[in-house]
Structure 1
Amino acid sequence: MPDTQPPGGQVTGSAPPGGSAAGDGDRAADRLLAEVLRRSGGWPVVYAVTALAGAVVELMLPSALGRAVDVLVSPGAVAGEALLSCVVLVVTVVACDAVAVLAAGAGGAQAARRLRLRVVRHVLAVGPAMSRRLPAGDLVTRLGSNAEEVGAAPEALITAVALLVPAGGSLVALALIDPWLAVAFTAGMALIGVVLRAFLDQTTAVASGYQQAQSDIASRLFDALAGARTIAAAGTEDLETRRVLRPLPRLRACGLALWRVNARAGVRAAIVVPLLECAVIGVGGLRMAAGELSAGELFAAARYAVLGAGIGSALGYLNRLGRARSAARRVQEVLDRPAPGYGGDRLPVGRAGGRLEFRDVTVRVDGTPVLRDIDLVVPGGAAMAVVGRSGSGKSLLAAVAGRLVDPDQGEVLLDGVPLRRLGREELRRAVGYAFERPVLFGGTLAEAITVGRPPDVARTAARAAAADPFIRRLPRSYGTPVDEAPMSGGERQRVGLARAFAHGGRLLVLDDATSSLDTVTEFQVARALTEELRDRTRVIVAHRAATAARADLVVWLDGGRIRGRGRHDVLWRDPGYRAVFQLDGPPGAERG
């Protein structure tokens, strides 16, 4: 088991959109989009200013072109000044567009980076409770492509708003030219608004299904990569390929649905927009025939109709905004998972520490109790072995002991202080963990062991974990980069044990942390646990009778409850206790 996920957890998918839950999800997604916009730095401001400035200049251009037309059709008029103003406006629009493209790209990248940083920090702060709720592949998708889509939301939102400026300005300009032109324009814009609103709602709903199918494929692929050796050994590549790609028809269906939504909206816009332009030009032609408009004013009116109808091009940006809303809902589900809170209490000093107490502890997974009514006291400095059949809650009890998981009921105390009330740093200095498959951090092996502790601690801890001999044989010894150190599974376990020994000042939690060690090395580690580390309390998830025999206290779990406690030799008289090792232990373990 990796040290990032204690067992006993479950994977639950997010609820499908619909009803009030979908409404709440949309509101939460909109709040996240607004927050991303506020925290995206200065680039969205630059983009907004240039986009709005470009829109305003575009509004000025039809009027300038109209004046130029009137000058050109007037006998003997000089059009130089009018044409120069048009050229200046066109150059300004091009410059604004160029700066806007730069600001949109830089702002989107920065927004996605900050959101990813925030979500990663939150995921790590929540800890194993997050991976119990969402599969690893799904989490990667939410932190990757979904965060990127949310990061693109500021550009889509600003562009959509900027498109309203030409629409609103065109309406005002047409009203100033002739009120009847404004009436025709307003009728057409109302139809376009209906098309855009329906398009945004449909896109958000369909994009949610598409993104969920992507996450399902990513989760299945992640699992397949983790078990690649098993798949190759079993020769089940074809079967596993079909399993990974099983959501592909759903992904295709959602993709086709998204395409159909885009196509329908595009067809409607393609019909409504020309009708709008024709209506304005038709009304303008009638007013010109009646002598109420000049040729230049009719030309300007036609340009304003085209400019205002450009809001129909918002379909593409609304499509991105709809996908961003759906992605934001998925990212917000991660952020909604509460991170554990920490107090400011400190552990008492001046006396032997490590007394561990479980008071009426119950832990539920998906509403079902996995650990129930655990009342237990482990004296300071004692070694407690936790045994039981698979699924009995051994690893979950170990996780609760070091507050990797909080109980749903009851309390865990270390030296009389509830774990919830300890500060984060105080808790991490007091408790050290070692797992079956440790993940090693830090640039070198020494840093992977100390992780912030003084460098001289590395050798002492490595000697206790029987890791010092093989580390010293490496060309760069403790200075060997972690990625360049050729380590077997047992050697990696020993480095993980050394890290736990270097940090667990009062309590050591070992969850199957010696399963890959050979007999001689395991004996050396066991001797260190029972002799050199007696100043600390040790909670050891044990699968071997020999490990339980060396412990001061054995806790026997069955169905999430304590079925027995005491010395190994006393519990061994119970056939049920012996059956734990006969069924789950390695050959010969029952002879303990």
Structure 2
Amino acid sequence: MTSRSADRLILDAVRRGGPWLAGLAAAALVGAAAELALPAALAQAVDALVSGTPGGERRVILTALLVGVVVACDAVRVLAAGRAGARTALWLRRRAVVHVLSSGTALSRRLTPGEIVTRAGVNAEEVARTPEAVVTAAALLVPSAGSVIALALIDPSLAVTLVAGLVLIVAVLRAFIRRTTAASGGYQRAQGQIAARLVGALAGARTVAAAGTQDREARRVLAPLPRLREHGLDLWRLQARAGVRAAVVIPLLETAVLAVGGLRLAAGDLTVGELLAAARYVVLGAGLGSAIGYAARLARARSAAGRLDELLAAPAPAYGSRPLPDGPGRLELRGVTLDADGGPVLAGVDLIVPGGSCVAVVGRSGAGKSSLAAVAGRLADPDSGSVLLDGVPLREIDRRELRSAVGYAFERPVLFGETLGDAMGSGVPGQDGGRVRAAAAAACADGFVRRLPLGYATPIADAPMSGGEVQRIGLARAFAQAERLLILDDAMSSLDTVTERQVGRALTGGLADRTRLVVAHRAGTAARADQVVWLDEGRVRATGPHALLWRDPAYRAVFQGDS
């Protein structure tokens, strides 16, 4: 991802600060103006008190008021910065989460879950701090530029001395930002690698515990830690070097300006008050050196923005606006090819599933069964070829219509919502209670759900369920959602034989008004289907009734190998 696109994301983030960002900018500018006016007011007050000129008390009061304005602006700036950052973080995270969920499996094939979470969480937070850093760093230019002008009005030689020092400070800042951006990128990549490995380890926590490999797995998860430490040390070294250089330049600059001012005072060209004002203005002008902290924040934000922009740049599937015509749910695949890193997963698949039929997809592990199920309902787009539902390409169908027409059930369903009723009604228009209960009965889930104390209102976290019962909840959700096409991707693998037969009868009975595409590992499931599609290495090897294909020893071996 280019630095230019990352910078565009940062500018978008700055604009999302809303009215609080405007308040932050106003407070910063007013505070900077008050700081600029303060030395002049202080100089006039000192000169008036020293010389006994009338009006000295008023000038002291004005100086005190300016101090109050500076303090008040600092307080408003802190509040506005927090609010603007929170708004920006909300926008970035919402945008990232919506994009991730919209991209589906395409994004998860490119980035691990740990990387996705790190970019949408930690990196989004770092980018969200940009508005404060940008506004505050820009506000530092006001006292620096104003100090140069004020010194020029007092004595041009003082302004020339300050400008020479500011040039050195700007050079330090430029080098610091460039190097810190590179170091921040390495630090954030190491963070993402640790998060990715930890998420993977947590997913297999039972396996790790059963194998007794906790120590070895911990070492694997934390293997990038030395790189994280090295990049962190690089960041501290860079900041320390820049700070030391600024710390050397700033006192020398102040000393030089005061030396020149002292000479001018001795020559009678400056008053005591003007020298005092000059001393204060050089401190304000040299305050540009304090931008190192904000520059470090901007450098980290640029690196984080690059990682977040890479996430957001992953293409999400585009949907059309065509409605689905009335039809029986006829599914057609024309020359469908789907590639992966290791080669084609599906290679030129041509297939017609008649509307209202039940078709089982069988094959050995790696034959492409789940990939065919994914492209059939557009969880993935083929690299070439097309998929049509009732004569309309899936790419052209309105998203709401497509998701209402197609229902999916998986081997390991994830239950969403607060209660079991919510989980089964997810994706169902209005979460129709009658429709959900009918689907639960067809999935053999109604009985065990009703036996729970709260029934369908039982919180998911409080429901003690086996793997087979979770699968039945997932089946019920798919049965309730699918209006035209039902796709089961190994969704009955954890059911006992009796329950599997009952669900199988529902598939060929009460659900017969829908087209059913069932990825099957059991011969009994294939036997109940109207037709069987036999996949072998991403190609359709044969189609036909199970009884006819059963005569082929190679077909029988498919089930023997999976049993």
Give the TM-score normalised by structure 1. Answer: 0.92
Contact in 2 for aligned 1:553/1:565 (Cα 8 Å): yes
Instruction: Report the equivalent of 1:98.
Output: 75
Given candidates 344, 350, 354, the residue that maps to 1:375 is: 350
Instruction: Report the equivalent of 2:513.
Output: 535
Contact in 1 for aligned 2:421/2:457 (Cα 8 Å): yes
Return the alpha-carbon distance in structure 1 between the equivalents of residues 481 and 55 of structure 2: 86
> Residue 130 and residue 62 in structure 1: after superposition, are their counterparts in 2 closer, same or farther (change >3 A)?
same
The code of the aligned residue for 2:370 comes to S
1:277 Cα deviation after fit: 1.3
Deviation string for 1:310-358 (max 9, x for gaps)? 1101111111111111111111111111221111112222x5x111000
> Residue 392 and residue 180 in structure 1: after superposition, are their counterparts in 2 closer, same or farther (change >3 A)?
same
The code of the aligned residue for 1:512 comes to D
> How many equivalent pairs are there?
560
Contact in 2 for aligned 1:400/1:406 (Cα 8 Å): yes
Contact in 2 for aligned 1:146/1:331 (Cα 8 Å): yes
Higher mean C-alpha deviation, range 434-443 or range 304-313: 434-443
Runs (4 or more) in structure 1 with deviation over 3 Å come to 75-78
1:240-319 map, 5 Å: 240-319=217-296
Where structure 2 has 5 or more consecutive residues not aligned to the other structure, the ranges are: none
1:366 Cα deviation after fit: 4.1
Instruction: Report the equivalent of 2:333.
Output: 358
Contact in 2 for aligned 1:40/1:114 (Cα 8 Å): no
Contact in 1 for aligned 2:114/2:197 (Cα 8 Å): yes
1:559 Cα deviation after fit: 1.9
1:422 and 2:397 are equivalent in the alignment: yes
The code of the aligned residue for 1:154 comes to P
Instruction: Report the equivalent of 1:554.
Output: 532
Given candidates 5, 27, 52, the residue that maps to 2:4 is: 27
Where structure 1 has 5 or more consecutive residues not aligned to the other structure, the ranges are: 1-20, 587-592
Return the alpha-carbon distance in structure 2 between the equivalents of residues 367 and 37 of structure 1: 42
Instruction: Report the equivalent of 1:488.
Output: 466
1:232 and 2:202 are equivalent in the alignment: no
Give the match's secondary structure for 2:209: helix
Contact in 2 for aligned 1:51/1:162 (Cα 8 Å): yes
Instruction: Report the equivalent of 1:502.
Output: 480
Return the alpha-carbon distance in structure 2 between the equivalents of residues 320 and 369 of structure 1: 44
1:40 Cα deviation after fit: 2.0
1:179 Cα deviation after fit: 1.2
1:78 Cα deviation after fit: 5.8
Contact in 2 for aligned 1:440/1:448 (Cα 8 Å): yes
Contact in 1 for aligned 2:16/2:87 (Cα 8 Å): no
Instruction: Report the equivalent of 1:472.
Output: 450
Given candidates 565, 576, 580, the residue that maps to 2:543 is: 565
Higher mean C-alpha deviation, range 543-552 or range 198-207: 543-552
Return the alpha-carbon distance in structure 1 between the equivalents of residues 255 and 341 of structure 2: 61
Higher mean C-alpha deviation, range 236-245 or range 545-554: 545-554
Give the TM-score normalised by structure 2. Answer: 0.97
Give the match's secondary structure for 1:563: strand
Instruction: Report the equivalent of 1:147.
Output: 124
Give the match's secondary structure for 2:127: helix
Return the alpha-carbon distance in structure 1 between the equivalents of residues 288 and 344 of structure 2: 56
The code of the aligned residue for 1:441 comes to F
Instruction: Report the equivalent of 1:58.
Output: 35
The code of the aligned residue for 2:297 comes to R
Contact in 2 for aligned 1:203/1:322 (Cα 8 Å): yes
Give the match's secondary structure for 2:433: coil
- Residue identity over aligned pairs, in percent, reads 64
1:443 and 2:421 are equivalent in the alignment: no
Instruction: Report the equivalent of 1:518.
Output: 496
1:75-114 map, 5 Å: 75=52, 79-114=56-91
Instruction: Report the equivalent of 1:170.
Output: 147
1:449 Cα deviation after fit: 1.6
Return the alpha-carbon distance in structure 1 between the equivalents of residues 341 and 560 of structure 2: 31
Given candidates 402, 426, 432, the residue that maps to 2:377 is: 402
The code of the aligned residue for 1:490 comes to G
Return the alpha-carbon distance in structure 2 between the equivalents of residues 203 and 551 of structure 1: 62
Higher mean C-alpha deviation, range 366-375 or range 126-135: 366-375
Deviation string for 1:474-493 (max 9, x for gaps)? 11212222222221111111
Give the match's secondary structure for 1:384: strand
1:233 Cα deviation after fit: 0.6
Higher mean C-alpha deviation, range 251-260 or range 532-541: 532-541
1:61 Cα deviation after fit: 0.6
1:48 Cα deviation after fit: 0.9
Return the alpha-carbon distance in structure 2 between the equivalents of residues 468 and 167 of structure 1: 73
Instruction: Report the equivalent of 2:439.
Output: 461
1:442 Cα deviation after fit: 2.5
1:578 and 2:553 are equivalent in the alignment: no
Return the alpha-carbon distance in structure 2 between the equivalents of residues 395 and 412 of structure 1: 15
